[in-house]
Amino acid sequence: MSKLEVREIGPISGETEVRLADGATAVGFGGGKVIQYDFMFQNQEITTSSTDWLDTGFELNFTPKSDSSRLRITASLKVDGYMENSIRSAKTYFRLWRHDSTVIEIERGYYRNMNVSNENRGLTGWVNFHYVDRPSTTATINYKIKFKNDNTNSTVFNGSQIGVFEIMEIAL
């Protein structure tokens, strides 16, 4: 059994390097605190067979209080997918966009693959985003989540469940 003795615990600030047991190092940011928080819930159903990027309705305008803050952005979205009998697999793509149309993160979090021959087959899944942005501004920033299909299969976004989109500003 290992024993850990600590003489003093103090606040951590700025960038911190941690040496792991195997000799590797990891860098993190310590001492942060949440300055502000914003969120939205939604269960608006959007059904589409489009292969173009469409808004999910998840959209937040956020004004950082400091240009040195980090913004922790998270979302949890429900997706139902339906495929025609002739198609065996499909993907739904999600993107987190910033106000200047910058694609911050692409997540291919929902993949459908079926081997049975039933029309209107469906699967339900959840896509989760976790991202830390460093916008270096105190101007209002618009964040939104978009989605699209990789073929003309139908995706039902957010139908029967409530999804959440959150932004936390963290001071370092």
Residue 16 domain flag: no
pLDDT surpassing 90 at residue 18: no
Q: What is the CATH number of the domain that holds 142?
A: 2.60.120.1340
Residue 27 domain flag: no
Model confidence pLDDT, tens digit, residues 75-120: 988 777 666 655 556 677 788 888 876 777 666 555 555 555 555 5
- Grade residue 123 by pLDDT with cuts at 50, 70 and 90: low
What per-residue confidence (pLDDT) applies to 112?
54
- Asked if residues 138 and 65 have their Cβ atoms less than 8 Å apart, the reply is yes
Residue 68 domain flag: yes
Residue 162 domain flag: yes
CA distances from 142 to 77, 81, 90 (A): 19, 28, 30
Residue 23 domain flag: no
Angle at 30 between CA 66 and CA 130, to 5 degrees: 75
For the chain, percent of residues with pLDDT exceeding 70? 59
Residue 66 domain flag: yes
